[in-house]
Amino acid sequence: MIETAIEELEHFQQVFALMQRRGVNLQTEMKEDPYIKQLMPLTHGGTPESRFMSRLLLGSVVECRGCERFKLVSEAQQDNELKRFYKALWTSEAKHGNIFVELALAYFDEKAVYTRLHEMMEFEGAIIENLPIRAALH
């Protein structure tokens, strides 16, 4: 997990450096993420163990969706620098989703993990279909 956290911080540094080179400023305030807000109820209720599993699997779902979006952005880019940048991000991010599933499998039964993951992916897909299109990772 520490390696993944370090890699995520490195990605932030890379994004920030790219933004600075292009004269783009970070927002001065954090805004609520409607995607994450709608996903969070998936981690509530049940036993402490089921909440733990759901939180791990939610990390997987979010990472995989982010990877998918980086890939789509990469493939659609006309700017070669951004194309390479987003390709590097999505190839790196591709392994992050699996890390959370692997952690869940270390603590819980395989069938239970994949059943819950499937339920969460179905729920997440419905959320994505109903969210407005906007410039955001999530």
The string of pLDDT tens digits covering residues 98-132 is 899 999 999 999 999 999 999 999 999 999 999 98
Low-confidence stretches of the chain (pLDDT beneath 70): 137-138
Q: Please tell me the predicted confidence (pLDDT) of residue 138.
A: 65
Span 37-130: which CATH code?
1.20.1260.10
Amino acid sitting at position 36:
I
Domain extents in the chain: 37-130
pTM of the model: 0.84
Q: For residue 49, what are its two tokens?
A: 């163990």
